[in-house]
Amino acid sequence: MVDNTFQDEGRTGTSRRRFMEATGGIGLSAALSGYLSDEPRREKRPSERVRALVGEMSLQEKIGQMTQVAAYEVDDDPKAFFERYQPGSLMYATTADPLQLAEDINELLDAAIEAQPHDVPFVFGIDAVHGNNNLDGATIFPHNHGVGATWNEEYARRMAEHTSKTLRATGTHWTFSPVADIQRDPRWGRFYEGFSEDPYLASRMVAEKVRGYERTENGYKSAGATVKHFAGYSEPRHGDDRTPALIPYRTFRHTHLPPFHAGISAGAETVMVNSGSVNGVPAHASEELLQTILRDTLGFEGMVVSDWHDFYRMVEVHEYVADVKDAVRLGIDAGIDMYMVPAAGIESDTVDTYQRHLRNLVESGEISMDRIDDAVTNVLAFKEALGLFENPYADPQRASEIVGGARELAYEIATDSMTLLKNDGTLPFDPKVGTVLVTGPSADDVANMMGGWTLGWQGVGETLPPAVTPLDGIKGIVSDSTEVVHEPTGLYTFDNEAAVRKAASDADAVVAVLGEGPYAEEHGDIDTLGLPDAQRELVRTLDSVGTPHAGVLFAGRPRGTRVFDRLPAAVMAYLPGTMGGAAVADVVFGNVSPSGRLPFTWPAGTGQLLNVHNLYPPELFGTGETPPTSTQEPTFPFGHGLSYTEFTYADLRVEPSTLPEASANERINVSVRVTNSGDRSGDHVIPVYAHRRHGAIASPMTEVLGVDRVSLDPGESTRVIVKASVNQLATVPGDVFSKSKLRVLPGDYAISVGEWDEEQTLTVR
């Protein structure tokens, strides 16, 4: 029994999350329900319509439904193209102009439906991952790692809801988002696409992003979501994209899978497969991943799409099979329902070769008709859920009404993500300061604040999305008498040292906006976490001048190591998107007290990787005789984030404090009195952590069980009650290579909150 007797005691602060939960705005347990049990595969119940279509379709039509091509491949004669290939899906925008896109897709739909013997429309998919980032004028939201830093999954849902409206208004039905890959290794170029290294936090975010995309409109889902990349993609052994991952089952099950499970439980219509190999088997060929785990254990009933040319990759990258035909056989048999085959340039893997191979494999009996029918059923059921049989078309007029909206939301998310890493009192700067120097490579650079996947795979080109840069933001909030001086520097070049030195000496405050340029996928792989030399030089210069200076980082990962020694104050701004500069200015000049917390560990360098908060103990290596450089102590720990005010904790309670193992799916109340003991108002995120003290197998050093957020005025105090998920502690019991079912192991768990070292015990019996 959960004791609620103290629910109303002394609560004077506000909590958006609690309000949302109380009013039903957030599903409390759906995201993680069933976490402990392996759900048996449910009987798929396709509608009459889908069943009839599958019964009537020719093999050519069925193979068509299992094919996804790029819209740019449709040539001058769309009718002939559609008659020939009957593609079940098109991908990638034909244009960045929202209105034109809606019109183009409507026209393509006309041709496709006319060519399809059963009038089945295609489903149009696109990577809209932080807003509808393919469209001119679209509002760009922070990338997922920044959303993770807010610890507020409501934001994930709201940004996805807006994106979903823009998708459907522009003729697109499906986004290849959200990423459910857990953050493990910041060398990996896709780190920023994930929400967190913690399975609880990532799961909550993924589930809400799915719900946002798949909002209901006119009785159907307005867009389909994809949880990707199933699974184990984010821990390549060398940190390089699409290189082998070696993951123990216990880690895979406990750490990697929960965000996928959460997205699936939230209703995700589709899952995209990991392009890499896991423990020696390419995910695209793994029946264990795609059947046993995805279907039988996680209960996924939707459609499985491959990633980009991954049958070809089985031959050319993984050296797993000798030819693409064999890869098609393995992949379709393992459970892939739709193949993404969009690049015309790969001769051995075109839409032609794929469809021919598949036909031959079916005709020779190497792939069963049952498997084909199963795949086509999944594709058609997906289209039905989106209402495409009723109306696949866009109303182009809506495109201009919706695209470019939700700026206020983009500002709120960016602001709540800002994470104060370090501060000796330098920040906040006074908006009435005489002269402020704004310098660094990203002070006025739109591309750098957006990151990859923004009007281009590798980030923005010539056309820029709407954006407030830090320079704009700072000019907008300082006093009329403040002079704002801008002295840009390069990401990799610092050839204006003299000018920067002079400007810094003449200024009263300096904001240096540092970090990374945009990148995506393998182009973002790195082997050092240090900032480029040029930026370190810049910071050294500022340090030697001595004017109060603060660093702001736009980066897709924890980037910067020893540079913090020379920065008296630093803010992690992630990749904040359109409103990033306004959020930065408000935090740096004190309109807002920062409340973001790192959703990942900030390692002190690549030498100590992997360094994540949920590894097994011991926490520190190399104490005693070993030189301090070999310690595992990170630059900033998971959950770190300072404020301009001070929050103190008292009276931690865990209720109930004893729980039978059989009740581990219930939540417990972890409550603590939080007081704003500083002298200004502020928001504060209160994570609840747990760690099992000892037991049959080691327990991760910390795991998040829940979180709440309060806004408190100076002197104000409130009792915060977090409904904490005990099932998050479930692990795979047994010896080194055990594959047993998840269990919350009996034992004593130390429960703590925030940075407070006080612990209370939860006993699971």
Shortest Å distance, C-beta 304 to ligand NOJ:
14
Chain-centroid distance, C-alpha 735: 32
Q: What is the DSSP letter of 88?
A: S
Judged by CB under 6 A, the number of residues near ligand NOJ is 6
Q: What are the phi and psi torsion angles at 80 (to 5°)?
A: -65, -40
Q: Which of 214, 307, 516, 525 binds ligand NOJ (CB under 6 A)?
A: 307
CB of 264 to ligand NOJ, least distance (A): 17
Q: Which of 245, 225, 221 is nearest to 235 (CA)?
A: 245
Neighbours of 352 (CB within 10 A): 13
Q: Which two tokens stand for residue 299?
A: 């209960």
Contact between 598 and 638 under an 8 Å Cβ cutoff? The reply is yes
**Number of residues that make up the chain:** 765
Name residues whose C-beta falls within 8 Å of residue 760's C-beta, 6 or more positions apart in sequence. 652, 653, 654, 657, 670, 750, 751, 752
- Least gap, CB of 275 to ligand NOJ (angstroms): 6
Residue 764 pairs in a beta bridge with: 659, 747
Q: Site residues for ligand NOJ, window 114-153 (CB under 6 A)? A: 127
The residue (of 273 and 670) whose beta carbon lies closer to ligand NOJ is 273
Q: Distance (Å, rounded) from C-alpha 471 to C-alpha 354?
A: 51
8 Å CB contact between 139 and 466: yes
Nearer to ligand NOJ, 272 or 764 (CB): 272
Interacting positions 241-280 with ligand NOJ (CB under 6 A): 275
Smaller CB separation from ligand NOJ, 228 or 557: 228
Question: Are 237 and 224 a contacting pair, CB within 8 Å?
Answer: no
Around Cβ 349, how many Cβ atoms within 10 Å? 23
Q: Which is nearer to ligand NOJ, 81 or 176 (CB)?
A: 176
| CB-neighbour burial class of residue 743 (10 A; exposed 0-12, middle 13-18, buried 19+) | middle
Binding-site string for ligand NOJ from residue 162 to residue 181, where x marks contact by CB under 6 A and - marks none: --------------x-----
Q: Which is nearer to ligand NOJ, 271 or 664 (CB)?
A: 271
CA dihedral 315, 318, 320, 324 (to 10 degrees): -20
Site for ligand NOJ in 308-327 (CB under 6 A): 308
Three-state secondary-structure class, residue 17: helix
Q: How far is the CB of 124 from ligand NOJ (least distance, A)?
A: 13
Show contacts with ligand NOJ in window 217-236 (CB under 6 A): 228
Structure tokens at 298: 């996680």
Q: How far is the CB of 305 from ligand NOJ (least distance, A)?
A: 9
Least separation, in Å, of the C-beta of 192 and ligand NOJ? 13
CA 329 and chain centroid, separation: 32
Name the nearest CA neighbour of 420 among 604, 553, 601.
553
**Catalytic one of 127, 185, 307, 708:** 307
Residue closer to ligand NOJ by CB (options 136, 241) is 241
Report phi then psi at 55, rounded to 5: -65, -30
CA-nearest of 362, 342, 323, 300 to 126 is 342
Closest CA to 511 of 490, 480, 476, 538: 538
Q: Is 352 a catalytic residue?
A: no
Rounded CA separation 424/446 (Å): 29
Evaluate whether 87 touches 67 at the Cβ level (below 8 Å).
Answer: yes
3-class SS string, 531-543:
CCHHHHHHHHHHH
Q: Of the two residues 213 and 649, which places its CB atom closer to ligand NOJ in the complex?
A: 213
Give the three-class secondary structure for 721: strand
Q: Which residues, at least 6 apart from 298, have a Cβ–Cβ distance to it below 8 Å?
A: 39, 257, 260, 261, 264
DSSP letter, residue 192: G
Q: Compute the least distance from the CB of residue 94 to ligand NOJ, in Å.
A: 15
Q: How far is the CB of 127 from ligand NOJ (least distance, A)?
A: 5
* Residue number with CB closer to ligand NOJ (307 or 586): 307
Instruction: Name the residue nearer to ligand NOJ (CB basis): 222 or 274.
Output: 274
Minimum separation from the CB atom of position 522 to ligand NOJ (A)? 10
Q: Is the peptide bond preceding residue 523 cis, with omega within 30 degrees of 0? A: no
**525 in contact with ligand NOJ (CB under 6 A):** no
User: Residue 115 Cβ, how far from ligand NOJ at the closest point, in Å?
Assistant: 25
Closest residue to ligand NOJ: CB criterion: 176
Q: Which chain residues interact with ligand NOJ by CB under 6 A? A: 127, 176, 228, 275, 307-308
Active-site annotation, residues: 307
